[in-house]
Amino acid sequence: MKKVIALLLAVFAALTLVACAPKEETAVGYRVVHKDYVGIVNLVVLDGVIQEVEIDEYFLPNTWAKVAITGETAPADVVVVPGTTPAWYAKYIVIGDKQFTGVLRDAAYVADGVTYSKQMVKYSATGIEDLLVWLLASEANCEWYVQQLVDNKAFVAKDDFAVNTSLYTWNQGNGFTKSETGYWSGSNYPLGRAGNLAELAEAVEGKVFNPDATLVRATVDPKVWTIGDAVSGATMSDLPDYYKLIGIAYAKTGK
């Protein structure tokens, strides 16, 4: 009997250790950030404490479908956005199994007090009246969009939605993400995109995420952000967007 009791106690102790072992989780979140990109964050969380943060951003068509050259007369397969220097955008694009046609907006789209001034071409497809509005509506839509670009299923098209090789657009030979295109980097930007995101990550790693943290940006240079009681070295203007992105992923963990 003593042996049986000892064995049961050993089993109980082992189960207790397993139950008390630190729980590591991974989570992914998506949302529109900085007005013109779909952000994706990968988190590693250990017992509710953030261990790692990795953020990337996928361009919207206002970047990857922008025509690299312009001229006096626009061809039929572009949408012209007027201005001091008019910009051309592909009129027809394909994303996944969706065929989009672009038209010029009458005015910049505004939602929740935010003006999307660079989203002057409205792209519509069957079931999606306005790609921008659709992406802003749900995380699932953002995830779908990112996956199509990851799978390289997005391209500039002709009016029959076949691949259009006559329009040289920004993304040809470059990429769909900021990380792979070297966005906001170089000797003129010692902090730049990568540095700002690293500063944000440092400010939240090693802590339990606080969705109610007060985010305050200094009013004098270098205009760094304070996140709750943590002073971050990040200076990017829309840091709250990226903080919310982290929160979306963190909410999926057991905490």
For 239-255, b where at least 16 C-beta lie within 10 A, e where not — what string? bebbbbbbbbbbeebee
Whole-angstrom distance, CA of residue 154 vs CA of residue 63: 13
Tell me the DSSP string of 165-201: -SS-BTTTTS-SBHHHHTTT-STT-SSHHHHHHHHHH
The single residue listed with the structure tokens 């995830």 is 143
Q: Is the pLDDT of residue 175 over 50?
A: yes
**pLDDT band at 9, cuts 50/70/90?**
very low
Strands 121-124 and 154-156: unpaired
Measure CA of the first residue to CA of the last residue in the chain; give whole Å. 41
Within 10 angstroms of residue 117's Cβ, the number of other Cβ atoms is 12
The whole-number pLDDT of residue 20 equals: 58
Pick the closest to residue 40 from 253, 249, 251, 196 (CA basis): 249
| pLDDT value, residue 176 | 96
Specify the pLDDT at position 10: 47
Select from 207, 215, 235 the least CA-distant residue to 51.
207
- Convert the pLDDT of each residue in 117-167 to its tens digit: 999 999 999 999 999 999 999 999 999 999 999 999 999 999 999 999 998
The pLDDT of residue 11: 42
CA–chain centroid gap for 237, Å, is: 15
What per-residue confidence (pLDDT) applies to 3?
52
Backbone angles phi, psi at 32, to 5 degrees: -75, 130
What are residue 98's phi and psi, to 5 degrees?
-105, 135
pLDDT for 95 beyond 50: yes
Looking from the CA of 23 toward its CB, the CA atoms found within 13 Å total: 8
Total-model pTM:
0.90
**Residue 116 amino acid letter:** Y
Separation CA 245–CA 93 (nearest Å)? 27
Contact 139, 38 (CB under 8 A): no
pLDDT tens column, 11-48: 444 444 444 567 999 999 999 999 999 999 999 999 99
The domain spans of the chain are 59-174
